[in-house]
Amino acid sequence: MTPNLLRFLWLVPVLPLGGAAVNGLFGRHSSKKAITVVALGFSGLAFVLALTFALNFSAASAPYSMDLAHWLRSGDFRVDFSFYLDQLSLVMMLVVTGVGFLIHIYSVGYMWEDDGYYRFMAYLNLFMFFMLTLVLAKNYLMMFIGWEGVGLASYLLIGFWFVKDSAASAGKKAFIVNRIGDFGFLIALFLMIKHFGTLDFPALFAKIQAIGPEIAGAGTLTAIGLLLMVGAAGKSAQLPLYVWLPDAMEGPTPVSALIHAATMVTAGVYMVARSHMIFERAPSAMTVVAIVGTLTALFAATIGIAQTDIKKVLAYSTVSQLGYMFMACGVGAFSAGIFHLMTHAFFKGLLFLAAGSVIHGIGGEQDMRKMGGLRSYMPWTFLTMGIATLAIAGIPPLAGFWSKDEILWRAFGASWVYWSIGVVTAFITSFYMFRLMYMTFGGEYRGTVPRDAHGHDSHSGDGHGHGEPHESPVVMLGPLAILAILSVLGGFIGYGGRFEHFLAPVFQAGQATQEAAGEVANKSVEYALLGVSVVVALLGWVVAHLFYSGRSEMPARIARALGGLYEGVVHKYYVDELYAALFVKPLIDGSTEVLWHGVDQGVIDATVNKAADGARHVSDEARHMQSGNLRSYAGWVAAGGALVIAYMIWTGVR
C-alpha cells in the first residue's frame, strides 16, 4: 500500500459521518430520493474505499497506522486520533462496510413509508461511523469512543419508534445494561494507563509481551482481562448481561440485522480478539471467557426453542452464536472466532433481513403462530432464508458449517466439555431454526387477512393494506440475494486454514503460551468430530420436521410432559423477572424511598423551602411597618431620632 493511499484511511469512518450530518441536518426538508442518494452514497463510498484498501493490502508491510491529529497530551501519557489497519481490522472493516451497505439498500425498501425515513438513514450512517472508528482505532480510547458511539446509535435505533412505550424502554434497557459493561471496560483502561502508561495497541502489546503469563491466577493482566470481558459481555450480550438484546428487537428490522446481529454485538468479540495479547497471558481470564461463551451458547439456544416471535428467536440465536465466538476466543482460537463472526454477519444478517421481508410482506405481524404457508407467497424470501438456515445449522458446505466446525474442533482441543456443550447447542440451533422455517413457510397461512390499511411493524398509516401476503420489492430482495450468495460461499474463505493463515500475523505475534491446541490431535479425530456435528445438525432438522411440518401433536405433548421446565423456557428462565426483583426493584424502591422522598424531598427540598418560608414569615411581619401612612413614618423617624439622642446622652453622661 502506498503512503498516498494510506493517508485516506480516516475517510472510511468519516464518510458515513458526513452522510449522517447531511441527512440529520437537512433531511427533514429534503426529498426521500435525495436522502437515499446521500445515505447510500456516503456508505457506499466508504465500502468502495474499504475495498480499495483490501485490494492494496499487503501482508508484508502490515500493520499500517495513520495519525490524524493529537488528542491528549499529559506528561508521558498521550493519546492520538490515529487509525490502525492490520488483517483483523481489515476483515472487520470489510464486514462492517459491506454488510452495512447492503442493509442500507434494504432499508430503503423497508423504511420508505416511514415518516422518520431521514432520521433512520442518518442514524444508520452515524452507526457506521462509530463502528468503523471502533474497528479502526489504534488505541483503546479511540476504540472506547466507537464503543460508546455504537451504543448510542443502538439506543437511538431501538427506540426509533419512540412513541411506542415498549420501544422506548427497550432502548433504555439496552443503554443501561451496556453501561454496566462499559464500566468494566473503563476500569480496564484505567488499569492499563496505571500499569503500562499507554493505550496504543502496538506500544501496549510490546510492553505486555515482555511479561510472562500469569500462571498463578491473579494479577494485573488477569484483572484487565476480566474487566475487558465484563465490557464485552455487555456489548456482545453474554451471560449475565444478555437481557437487553432480545428486547432490542423492538427496533426496526434492518437495525436488528445490522446492529444487533451482524456488527455491533460482535464488537465484544473483536475487542477480546484485539486484546489477545492480554488474554494469552491471563489464562484464568481466558477460561472465564470460554466458560461464559459456552454457557451463553447453550442457555440462549434453549430459550430460542420456545419463542414464538420470529425476531426473538433470531435474537436468542444471535446471543447463542456470540457465545460460540467467545468460546473460540476463550480456547485461544481467535481467528476461528473472527471467522465465525464474519460468516455469522452474513447469515444472521440475511436471516434478519429475510424475517424483515416476511414481516413486511404480511403487514407487521411478528408472531410465527400467525404465519405459515408463506413459501408460495414469497418464494425469494423463502429461498434466501432457507439458505441462511442451512448455513446457521451447519449443513455443509455452507458458511456456518466451516466456521462453527472450526470452533468446535478447536474447543475439543481445549476440553471435551466445551465441545460437547457446543455440539448440543448446534443440535438445538438446527432444531429451532428449522422450527422457525416450518412455522413461517410451511403448512397453510394462519394469519388473518384484514381489509383495512395498517402499517408494518408498528409504523402506521403507510397507506397500503395487506390483502394477502406479498413478496417484497427488488430493493429488499437484492441484498437478500447477495447475502445468500455470501452465506453459501463465505465459508470457503476458511477452507484449508486460509483465513487463519491470513490472520496469523495478528494472533501469532509474540504468542507465549497457547500453542495451537488442535495440532496435537490427528486428522481422523477431526473428521470424526466433523461427522458428528453434521449428523447433529441434520438430526435437528429431522426432529423439527417431525414436530412442525405437519399438524403434529408432538410439541404440545412434549411441552406438557416437561411441565415446569417448559414453562421456564417459555418465560426465558424468568431471568428478566429475577433481575427485576434483584436489581431493578430494590433500586427503584431505594431511589423512591430514600433518595427521592428522603434525601431530595426531606433534605434538599426541605432546606430550600423552609428557608424561603422563614424569609416570607419574617418579611410578612416587617411589611406592616411600611403602611403607606405618612404619620407612622414620621413616628418612626421621631422614635429613631429619640433613640439616637438617648444614646448620645448616655455616652455623654458616661
Partner 1 sequence: MVPLSYYLVLGGILFVCGVLGFLIKRNIITIFMSIELMLNGVNLTFVAFAAQWHMLGSANALSGQIFVFFVMVVAAAEAAVGLAIIIAVYRTRETLNVDQVNLLKL
Give contact residues for partner 1 (rule: CB under 8 A). 628-631, 634-635, 638
* Residue 279, C-beta contacts closer than 8 angstroms, at least 6 positions apart: 225, 228, 272, 285, 286, 289, 329
* CB nearer to partner 1: pick between 592 and 632: 632
* CB nearer to partner 1: pick between 622 and 630: 630
CB of 642 to partner 1, least distance (A): 9
Phi-psi label, residue 455: left if phi above 0, alpha if psi -120 to 50, beta otherwise: beta
- In angstroms, what CA-CA distances link 99 with 106, 128, 246, 264, 652? 10, 11, 21, 12, 99
Centroid of chain to Cα 34: 29
* Residue 533, C-beta contacts closer than 8 angstroms, at least 6 positions apart: 394, 401, 404, 405, 408, 423, 426
Three state DSSP letters for 1-19: CCHHHHCCCCHHHHHHHHH
* CB nearer to partner 1: pick between 465 and 641: 641
CB of 628 to partner 1, least distance (A): 4
* CB nearer to partner 1: pick between 72 and 638: 638
CB of 645 to partner 1, least distance (A): 10
DSSP code of residue 445: -
CB of 612 to partner 1, least distance (A): 23
CB of 630 to partner 1, least distance (A): 6
* CB nearer to partner 1: pick between 37 and 638: 638
List the one residue out of 14, 125, 42 whose CA is nearest residue 117. 125
* CB nearer to partner 1: pick between 638 and 644: 638
CB of 168 to partner 1, least distance (A): 51
* CB nearer to partner 1: pick between 75 and 628: 628
CA dist 82 and 7 (Å) reads 11
CB of 114 to partner 1, least distance (A): 59
* Residue 389, C-beta contacts closer than 8 angstroms, at least 6 positions apart: 351, 433, 434, 436, 437
Phi-psi label, residue 306: left if phi above 0, alpha if psi -120 to 50, beta otherwise: alpha
* CB nearer to partner 1: pick between 513 and 627: 627
* CB nearer to partner 1: pick between 474 and 642: 642
* CB nearer to partner 1: pick between 628 and 652: 628
The three three-digit cell numbers of residue 125, written as one number? 450512517
Q: Is the dihedral of CA 529, 531, 534, 538 positive or negative?
A: negative
- In angstroms, what CA-CA distances link 202 with 63, 207, 208, 462? 10, 9, 10, 52
CB of 641 to partner 1, least distance (A): 9
List the one residue out of 17, 244, 20, 32 whose CA is nearest residue 117. 32
* CB nearer to partner 1: pick between 563 and 628: 628
CA dist 554 and 551 (Å) reads 9
- With beta carbons less than 8 A apart as the criterion, state whether 430 and 573 touch: no
* CB nearer to partner 1: pick between 590 and 635: 635
CA dist 625 and 632 (Å) reads 8
CA dist 307 and 369 (Å) reads 10
**Percent helix / strand / coil, the chain, rounded to 5:** 75, 5, 20
* CB nearer to partner 1: pick between 448 and 626: 626
- With beta carbons less than 8 A apart as the criterion, state whether 351 and 426 touch: no
CB of 616 to partner 1, least distance (A): 19
CA dist 484 and 347 (Å) reads 7
CA dist 163 and 167 (Å) reads 8
CB of 620 to partner 1, least distance (A): 16
List the one residue out of 150, 114, 154, 177 whose CA is nearest residue 356. 114
CB of 653 to partner 1, least distance (A): 16
CB of 613 to partner 1, least distance (A): 24
DSSP code of residue 62: P
CB of 126 to partner 1, least distance (A): 59
CB of 634 to partner 1, least distance (A): 6
* CB nearer to partner 1: pick between 215 and 634: 634
Give me the helices (H) in 159-282, please: 165-196, 201-209, 220-235, 244-247, 253-257, 267-274, 276-280
CB of 627 to partner 1, least distance (A): 9
* CB nearer to partner 1: pick between 524 and 629: 629
The three three-digit cell numbers of residue 247, written as one number? 428486547
The three three-digit cell numbers of residue 582, written as one number? 434483584
Q: Is the dihedral of CA 93, 94, 97, 100 positive or negative?
A: negative
CA dist 418 and 612 (Å) reads 67
Amino acid at 9: L
* CB nearer to partner 1: pick between 587 and 638: 638
CB of 638 to partner 1, least distance (A): 5
